[in-house]
Amino acid sequence: MKKITVLLAYFVLISCQNKAITKINTTTAKKQPNILWLVTEDMGAYIPPFGDNTVKTPNLTKLANEGVIYPNLYSTSGVCAPSRAAIATGMYPSSIGANHMRTKSNTKQTGLKPYEAVPPAPVKMISELLRKEGYYCTNNYKEDYQFRAPVTAWDESSKYAHWRNKKEDQPFFAVFNFTETHESGLFEPYGHRHIETRHYRIGDRSYKWKPGRMNEAETNKYIPKNTPFKIPPYLPDTKVVRNDMWKLYNNIAEMDKQLGTVLKQLEDDGELENTIIFFYGDHGGPLPRQKRLIYDSGLNTPMIIRFPKKKNQGSKNDELISFVDFAPTLLSLIGVKPPEYMQGKAFLGAYKSKNKRQYIHAAADRFDEVTDAIRAVRDKQFKYIKNYRPEQGYYLPLAYREKIPTMQELLKLRDSKQLNTIQQQWFRNYKPEEELFDCNKDPHELVNLAKDPKYKNKLDELRLEMDAWLSRINDTPNFPEAQLITKLWGGLDKQPNTATPTANFNNNMLTINCETEGASIGYMVKNENGKFPKTWQVYQKAINAPQGTAFKIKAHRIGYKASKVITVNTTNKN
């Protein structure tokens, strides 16, 4: 297997909050629930709480038994970076220039300039909005939002980020990302996960920890290779495919073990019953014809939410939920009204939407070096897909995906004409302009009903909804990416800069401004030891500071280059 760093820093993370910042920071923490996100990658509903008993997942099963399962959660894209943009902002990726995977990579193949998504000026990352409400926000540790996170986004974002570094009685929002189930976990050679040396501190003492390696024999303890895997009909039932299925479930079991460690820490810290726990995947499964596509196999991912005191434990909620709903829901859960710019709907909390979601929407554009243009809308039963490049085949050669043995097997069998009719569908040289699937009767989306007169009314309904959605979010499918970059940059030929912030000190009050509309402003305060802390605070209003206080200040609008850092000493009046 490709070497994958397993993020086990959670075992050992303890540090002290810098006290100097808290003396000047005027934001007071409210007594609010903690929120913990446990996020895995590239995973469909392949776990027992959702009906797949292939491998045991004791920690997720316990979480589901004590919580609520949500089988109808859908990503806005079949790949991670656009999905994370939606989660972080509450905006559809195709509305903010975030839907091409990735905006800074594959520039040699595409000939494009590296760029970042540029949301409207008011848009802030959800973590920054929670920090403004007094939350200690940590991310461990993947970001990948299609834009650089401003310094105001997190209290900590690193391999060692943990809620344990917060102030006493401060609520936290903590994200832990698990990489074991990622597509690259199917690559060969399989079974050797390199776990890097960890350096960490407890108080003033430094430690080093090296857990070692895990070989194939150790991974085999989770599930036998001769397990009767249920192979999707679009994949051939061969030894190679079964071996990849074995890897897939092995990786899920390993992820479950790591996740259990975090949950145990939460319980050991006495925080379990003060915390709303979310588990979900960043999109659907890792196999060919799953990841990157906007069939349900690429969009649908399981979600479990455990509420304090096991509220509604063991229940199921069937409502449709989109990733754009996460940001407004977090605010709603802590009693804060979501901002008007967010395109999602809160599905929990004080500002829960009065009407349940009728449709979910998704989009596919460039994936690394290959480009397509597809949009989809789904209700509880039917999915409508509009292909804006029908002259292109479904399958596009993608170097990264072709590292998966199952993909190599598919190509070999395609070339030797050994695929059956269903398996061959993905390799057609064209796409119908419109597709309609009954996802209840046809969960793998293999039978196109778009030309069946019996479904004309449903086709018309979803077609109209598609057009209305594209209009609402200002999405122009198949818009040339080079022109998109120019549009995002406001007609400039290079990425715009965030203006350098200015500071004014008067009557022991420091006021900070930035001319760039929508810029977030972060600041640090030099402590009594003459050092600046590592964490940037979020500037919200004038800061009460004594004479002789030194500040570092930085501004950053999402999608722009960050400003220069300025240093201000309050003995010098501006």
Give me the active site residues, please: 80
The span from the CA of 378 to the CA of 83, in Å, is: 17
Closest among 4, 44, 412 to 236, alpha carbons compared:
412
Other Cβ atoms closer than 10 A to 418: 12
Question: Given the DSSP bridges, would you call strands 34-40 and 172-178 parallel, antiparallel or unpaired?
Answer: parallel
The span from the CA of 384 to the CA of 262, in Å, is: 39
The span from the CA of 358 to the CA of 347, in Å, is: 12
DSSP type of residue 158: S
The span from the CA of 210 to the CA of 520, in Å, is: 38
The span from the CA of 201 to the CA of 179, in Å, is: 24
Residue positions counted in the chain = 574
The span from the CA of 183 to the CA of 404, in Å, is: 8
What is the three-class DSSP state of 293?
A: coil
The span from the CA of 371 to the CA of 572, in Å, is: 54
Neighbouring-strand partners of residue 194: 213
The single-letter code of the amino acid at 4 is I
Q: How far is CA 319 from the centre of its chain?
A: 20
Backbone angles phi, psi at 38, to 5 degrees: -110, 110
Burial 275-308 (b: 16+ CB within 10 A, else e): bbbbbbbbbbbbbbbbbbbbbbbbbbbbbbbbbe
Q: 75, 362 in Cβ contact below 8 A?
A: yes
C-alpha dist (Å) from residue 373 to 99, 203, 479, 508? 10, 53, 9, 56
Neighbouring-strand partners of residue 407: none
* Tokens 């793998």 -> residue: 444
Q: What six digits make up the tokens of 414? A: 């395609």
Cis peptide before 58, with omega less than 30 degrees from 0? Answer: no
Neighbouring-strand partners of residue 551: 525, 568
Q: DSSP per residue over 253-287, as a string?
A: HHHHHHHHHHHHHHHHTT-GGGEEEEEEESSS-SS
For CA atoms 71, 72, 77, 83, the dihedral sign is negative
Burial class (CB in 10 A: 0-12, 13-18, 19+), 88: buried
The span from the CA of 112 to the CA of 105, in Å, is: 9
Closest among 228, 302, 219 to 254, alpha carbons compared:
219
Other Cβ atoms closer than 10 A to 171: 24
Other Cβ atoms closer than 10 A to 215: 10
